[in-house]
Structure formats: structure tokens, C-alpha cells
Amino acid sequence: MLILSKSDFDKNGIDEIGIHWGQYLALTFSSFFIFSICLYKAIPEFRSFVLDIIWFINCSGFNCNGA
């Protein structure tokens, strides 16, 4: 069994099977993104939650478009 830890990456960020740590990070973000899209389409409460967050960010000064 191969268990990765911080010491398993070399100075270039590549583990012993040749995968860069950034590829693991990209796979994690992609999986999270696909999962959140499925939740958004399947659960109306989650859709409302996401839209509330977007509305809050738009009205809180983080909107850099000047609108």
C-alpha cells in the first residue's frame, strides 16, 4: 500500500510514481466542482444557498466591476 506524505515528494514536487502535487490538487478541485454542480442541479435548497452567497458577495463591496 502506497501512502503519500509530505516527504514522498521530491524537490520538484513529484512523487515516486511520477505525479506532481499540482495534479492531485487539480483532481481534487475538479471533483469538488463536479459534485457541487450536481448538488446545484438536484437540490433546490443548495441552489438557493449558492445564489444567496453570490448575492451577498455582489452587494458586499467585493464586486470590482463598479456596479
pLDDT, averaged in runs of 10, over the chain (67 residues): 65 87 94 93 91 81 59
| Residue 56 half-sphere exposure toward CB, CA atoms < 13 A | 6
d(CA 5, CA 34): 26
Query: From its phi and psi, is residue 59 left (phi > 0), alpha (psi between -120 and 50) or beta?
Result: alpha
d(CA 22, CA 58): 30
Cβ proximity of 26 and 19 under 8 Å: no
H or E, element range at 23:
helix 21-42
For the entire predicted model, the pTM comes to 0.60
